[in-house]
Structure 1
Amino acid sequence: MKTLNISTSCFLKYFIRCFLLLCLNLFPSEPGISLAERDMETDLAVQHIHRVEVKSLLPETTCSPSTKDQAGVISIHSRLGSKKMNSDDATTMPVNSGDLVSSGDYIVTVGLGTPQKQLSLIFDTGSDLSWTRCRPCIRSCYKQMEPLFDPSISTSYVNISCKSNVCSQLTPVTHKIPRCSIDNSTCIYDMQYGDKSFSVGFFSKERLTLTSTEVFDEFLFGCGQINQGNFGSSAANKYGRIFSYCLPSTSSSTGYLGFGKHRRAFKPVKFTPLTTVSQDPSFYGLNLVGISVGGHKLWISPSVFLSSGTIIDTGTVITRLPAAAYSALRDVFRQALTKYPLTRALSVLDKCYDLSSYVTVKYPHIAFYFQGGLKLKLDATGIFYSSSASQVCLAFAGNDANNKFAVLGNVQQKTFEAGGRVGFARGGCL
């Protein structure tokens, strides 16, 4: 997981296959269109061209994709005790947009310790270790809005012995051999990230409280003592290795994080198989096979997607595509929007438009195609990313080579299902 700047340094990785949902807002046509314009709109609809109000594309808070999002993608490229209960049990908890703290990630709040302390955290399918900053902070003690977790006042906190098998399991997670404390008793973790963020501290066991009725007594996490940057498999058996979530579409709306087969999961969904990423099995892989713009498939050699592979990552904001695939998408998209003036790039987004003089914008739908015939059709919320009306960008970026993993980021995610398959559906937050 990646850390959340300002509000928290706490993260969570759930080692379970998941089902994710993202609200999809459909925008109505502009009222008051003349007969001639209505005829034109009919022709446009046949060509999969749609109209949306420019103001609906603007963020509620000013936020742009950070260079740390790119650093996280570079890092991904370089890496390549539970409660015994019925697996049909389910629970949900609120999810909020990170826009409130100028982050492109998503936040949930959990309780840690006894008595429990409320902690905000990012959930991220592309990272491996849960950790939070703990008292006393030895050094690199950057400010955060929430108080640090204090293990000395929790009656359920336990340090993991550096001689235990649990300690040795850190190696594939941190890609380092764990160390022992000075007194040779406590397991020390050392987690490094692609954006130069890091956390070093005690590997520990604590009570995790998801809701008033969902409590886990042996949650493994890192109690960070040296931390720098922007900043648990214990639930797996209980919920049948399934969790689902809806990523809220705006900073003022609320999504949800659900465990088990709760009622929201039973929506009509089409699926494609989840794949294992051989370079790093902690990632969730997909088989992306094609892209269309305006209803027309782009000519992209199948070898482009085959050689790169694709993962899905809630902790990456902007989707990254192989160089050849992105070039084809960008060029065709630009041809469809030639009437709108180009403007400066926004971080990694290099195809941006100045729409400050327009009330509406017409755009072609973009769709992704996955193995098994699954089609993910994006609307405006998954196609545009903006800082203001004068800087509205195509919400995709290209890798610098065709053989680097494509990453499906959280702007485009809709629905994700457990049991070795992934699916997409509309209306996830309803």
Structure 2
Amino acid sequence: MSIMRNFLNMIILLCVCLNWCFTEGAEKRESGKVLDSYTIQVSSLFPSSSSCVPSSKASNTKSSLRVVHMHGACSHLSSNKDARLDHDEILRRDQARVESIHSKLSKNIADEVSKAKSTELPAKSGITIGSANYFVTIGIGTPKQDISLIFDTGSDLTWTQCEPCLGSCYSQKEPKFNPSSSSSYHNVSCSSPMCENTASCSASNCLYGIRYGDGSITVGFLAKEKFTVTNSDVLDDVYFGCGENNRGLFNGAAGLLGLGPGKFSFPSQTTTTYNNIFSYCIPSSASNTGHLTFGSAGVSESVKFTPITSSSSSSHYGINIIGINVGDKKLEITPTLFSTRGAIIDSGTVITRLPTKVYAELRSVFKEKMSSYKTTSGRSVTDTCYDFTGLETVTLPKISFSFGGGTVVELDGKGILYPFTISQVCLAFAGNDTIPAIFGNVQQKTLEIVHDVAGRRVGFAPNGCS
């Protein structure tokens, strides 16, 4: 009797399982849009002006810094957190950065640039700071002083404004770093191998100079100092620029943290500690925080890597874009469309730039799948915009990138659109044939981006931060 009862129970359980499996499969087939689209809250595209939402993803990692938007509720640099973002200025500077990359690659930059006043030091041409939207806070000196630095994967040398300002210094929120108050500060001698290819010398001390494409400039002493990432991660003798003549629009930040591939970049200098590996996550909005983490601790197990390619820009990390999908549509991309000028991933470029033909097809497919929504005029470099007034949710086609090595990265729903206002939300892509394709920071939102520079690869994982 008990054998029969057990047998009947097994039959019932099997039927339940089969019914669940078939039902789930039918639901997936019936609602095919689940596979190639997602629905998001319109309000989630816009930051809260009053509350900061910290990310907990990297909170347990000892070598992690908080990534903050300059003008959001989490920023101590913004004097008016209720002020609206100046989107036109952000995208004007974004375009300036793109044009500067083109200028540098075209070798149209003059060998000599304007000399900085008072020091008469020619500053080397670099690339523009770009949007300068995100910063981290790091300690410098002994005793340490916490300073806020723009983080940039397209720049190498870390620098900060220093006292005394012999030329001019722009306005910043925090006190300027005073090297005379630090017991661990040392100028770099002109005889040092690290002084090679720098701009000049002063009283046997090495000087540096950088002129960015937007006209910003920093000039000062090349120095060594103690950097404190966290209380448990203190690094001695890090080379940085102690700028005593600085001009530009840096949104109140004290300087820049260079995360590029060059020898002066912070990851390159700290290889013995962090193995030249760092990861970051750009938050979904200005009222959320992300993280910048050095070393491999805390890197997601779901990360997928693509090789770093030889970029035509030595200041950037090259990647190989193989394909793009919009919803269920795979764009027609020939190998030569991206191979001619290549592609880079850049934390400082806002809007992703694609070859004109690729962007035209992406835009066409996107508009077709968004045909039920009210359109509106374009703005700045964006030309495909929608009016979401009165809507609580919108359904977007998923967009995914296929990179070299077989890695497929699906963008977050908030990594597709650039929201000016609720009545003007635009596709965050643009066409450009004069530069490498650029995988910009809107598309990177909420993804964990891993730079394993020593292993010559870049990784992507979902849900890196909120």
TM-score range, shorter-chain basis?
A: 0.7 to 0.9
Please name the residue that 2:231 is paired with: 212
Residue identity (%) = 49
What is the CA distance between 1:349 and its match in structure 2? Answer: 1.8
The letter of the residue matching 1:385 is Y
What is the CA distance between 1:236 and its match in structure 2? Answer: 1.4
The letter of the residue matching 2:462 is R
Superposed, 1:5-24 pairs within 5 Å as: none
The letter of the residue matching 1:258 is T
Please name the residue that 1:258 is paired with: 293
State the Cα deviation string for residues 46-67 of structure 1 (Å, max 9, x = none).
Answer: 6723322221222335332331
Please name the residue that 1:306 is paired with: 339
Q: Distance in 2 between matches of 1:44 and 1:52?
A: 17
What is the CA distance between 1:130 and its match in structure 2? Answer: 0.7
The letter of the residue matching 1:241 is N
The normalised TM-score by structure 1 is: 0.78
Superposed, 1:349-368 pairs within 5 Å as: 349-368=382-401
CA contact (8 A) 2:142 2:182 kept: yes
Please name the residue that 2:308 is paired with: 274
State the Cα deviation string for residues 261-280 of structure 1 (Å, max 9, x = none).
Answer: 21x21412222211122x33
The normalised TM-score by structure 2 is: 0.72
Which SS does the other structure have where 2:190 is aligned?
Answer: coil
Superposed, 1:12-411 pairs within 5 Å as: 42-43=30-31, 45=33, 48-60=36-48, 62-63=84-85, 64=87, 65-80=90-105, 105-168=133-196, 171=197, 177-181=198-202, 183=203, 185-231=204-250, 232=266, 233-262=268-297, 264-277=298-311, 279-399=312-432, 401=433, 403-411=434-442
Quickly say closer, same or farther: Cα 1:146–1:103, change in 2 above 3 A: farther
CA contact (8 A) 2:46 2:285 kept: no
Which SS does the other structure have where 1:334 is aligned?
Answer: helix
The letter of the residue matching 1:406 is A
Q: Distance in 2 between matches of 1:393 and 1:214?
A: 41
CA contact (8 A) 2:224 2:239 kept: yes
CA contact (8 A) 1:59 1:386 kept: no
Q: Distance in 2 between matches of 1:343 and 1:162?
A: 58
What is the CA distance between 1:315 and its match in structure 2? Answer: 1.6
- Say which structure, 1 or 2, has more relative contact order (CA 8 Å, 6+ apart): 1
Q: Distance in 1 between matches of 2:294 and 2:288?
A: 20
CA contact (8 A) 1:295 1:366 kept: no
CA contact (8 A) 2:412 2:443 kept: no
Q: Distance in 1 between matches of 2:47 and 2:132?
A: 11
Quickly say closer, same or farther: Cα 1:356–1:42, change in 2 above 3 A: farther
The letter of the residue matching 1:314 is S
Q: Distance in 2 between matches of 1:190 and 1:107?
A: 22
Q: Distance in 1 between matches of 2:451 and 2:153?
A: 13
What is the CA distance between 1:341 and its match in structure 2? Answer: 2.5
CA contact (8 A) 2:277 2:294 kept: yes
CA RMSD, Structure 1 to Structure 2 (Å): 2.4
The letter of the residue matching 1:202 is F
Please name the residue that 1:7 is paired with: none
Quickly say closer, same or farther: Cα 1:324–1:159, change in 2 above 3 A: same
CA contact (8 A) 2:307 2:457 kept: yes
Quickly say closer, same or farther: Cα 1:338–1:200, change in 2 above 3 A: same
State the Cα deviation string for residues 9-48 of structure 1 (Å, max 9, x = none).
Answer: xxxxxxxxxxxxxxxxxxxxxxxxxxxxxx9994451672
CA contact (8 A) 1:137 1:226 kept: yes
Q: Which runs of 5+ in 2 are unaligned?
A: 1-26, 50-83, 106-129, 251-265
What is the CA distance between 1:104 and its match in structure 2? Answer: 5.8
Which SS does the other structure have where 1:74 is aligned?
Answer: helix
Q: Distance in 2 between matches of 1:245 and 1:127?
A: 16
State the Cα deviation string for residues 245-264 of structure 1 (Å, max 9, x = none).
Answer: 222223333322222221x2
The letter of the residue matching 1:291 is I
Q: Count residues with an aligned counterpart.
A: 359
